[in-house]
Chains A and B, each alone.
Chain A
């Protein structure tokens, strides 16, 4: 199983809503990532978790709150988002952030903030 599963695939939310994005992998990977991708741009790193601990936060606004409940699961909690936060949110995992191994990406959640 080399799959990273993200839910939901699509999400429309108002600026006052609270929602969560979920990412799951069962490859035993210990590094998990959240990326944000706008149209025609490359993915931008948001957060890195290593062994369930947050190791990198790329100065992401606090309206995005990551959580890693266990080694297979990564959540991204959303609150009071702005329309400019509309994007494709990608989760990725790697065996270990210190190893020279590739990243596997989920299919992404396409988020629209209205």
Chain B
């Protein structure tokens, strides 16, 4: 079983739509969680950390469910510039473990 499993998509949504996707992790001792964004042929960049109580950053909302061992990302009012691959990252045992990435394409 992979350490981190992620809904691969692709999600193809119109501008203004809401899109949400999840990521599950297998190590119950995992300590911290992040969403990264990666554009084509670029490096991953931190989108947001994920806190136990859930957190919001503008149009982006992240949730953590420790009991079910998953994190989620919701994007409201999608913009064309949100088109990217979103990677969930789970830290445990000193390693960063990546999900396979969820591809989101926002169309005009």
CA A33 to CA B91, docked complex, whole Å:
13
CA A98 to CA B96, docked complex, whole Å:
11
With both chains docked as a complex, state the minimum distance between the C-beta of A103 and any C-beta of chain B, in angstroms: 6
Q: CB distance A102 to B46 under 8 Å? A: yes
Instruction: Name the one of B32, B43, B99 contacting A100, with C-beta atoms under 8 angstroms.
Output: B32
> Chain B 33-66, CB within 8 Å of chain A: the 1/0 string?
0100000011111100100000000000000000
Residue B95 is within 8 A (CB to CB) of chain A in the complex: yes
Interface size for B (C-beta < 8 A) is 21
Q: CB distance A43 to B46 under 8 Å? A: no
Instruction: Name the one of A43, A88, A98, A101 contacting B94, with C-beta atoms under 8 angstroms.
Output: A98
Task: Considering the complex, give the chain B residue whose CB is closest to the CB of A102.
Answer: B46
Within 8 A of A (CB), among B60-106: 87, 89, 91, 94-101
Given the complex, which residues of A lie within 8 Å of B94, measured CB to CB?
Answer: 31, 48, 50, 55-56, 97-98
Task: Considering the complex, give the chain B residue whose CB is closest to the CB of A31.
Answer: B94
Q: CB distance A42 to B96 under 8 Å? A: no
Residue B31 is within 8 A (CB to CB) of chain A in the complex: yes
